[in-house]
Amino acid sequence: MKFFVDTADLNEIKDLAATGMVDGVTTNPSLAAKQGMNFKELIAEVCKVVSGPVSAEVTALDYETMMKEADVLRKIARNITIKVPLTQDGLKVCRALSSEGTMVNVTLCFTCGQAILAAKAGATFVSPFVGRLDDLGVNGMQLIEDIRMVYDNYDSFKTQILVASVRSPEHIINAGRIGADVVTAPPKVIRQLYHHPLTDSGLKTFAEDWAKTGQSIL
Ligand code: G3P
Q: Residue 53 in contact with residue 79, Cβ under 8 Å?
A: yes
Half-sphere exposure of 148 (CA within 13 A, CB side): 17
Q: Whose CA is nearest to atom 3 of ligand 1?
A: 165
Instruction: Tell me if residue 75 is catalytic.
Output: no
pLDDT tens-digit profile of 67-93?
999 999 999 999 999 999 999 999 999
Give the pLDDT score at 77.
98
What is the residue-wise DSSP string for 57-103? E----SHHHHHHHHHHHHTS-TTEEEEEESSHHHHHHHHHHHHTT-E
What is the residue-wise DSSP string for 164-207? BS--SHHHHHHHHHHT-SEEEE-HHHHHHTT--HHHHHHHHHHH
Tally of CB atoms within 10 A around 78: 9
Q: What is the dihedral of CA 141, 143, 144, 149, to 10 degrees?
A: 130
pLDDT tens-digit profile of 150-169?
999 999 999 999 999 999 99
Domains of the chain: 2-210 (3.20.20.70)
Q: Whose CA is nearest to atom 9 of ligand 1?
A: 165
What is the CA(130)–ligand 1 centre distance, in A? 9
| Spans of the chain, pLDDT less than 50 | none
How far is it, in rounded angstroms, from Cα 24 to Cα 46? 10
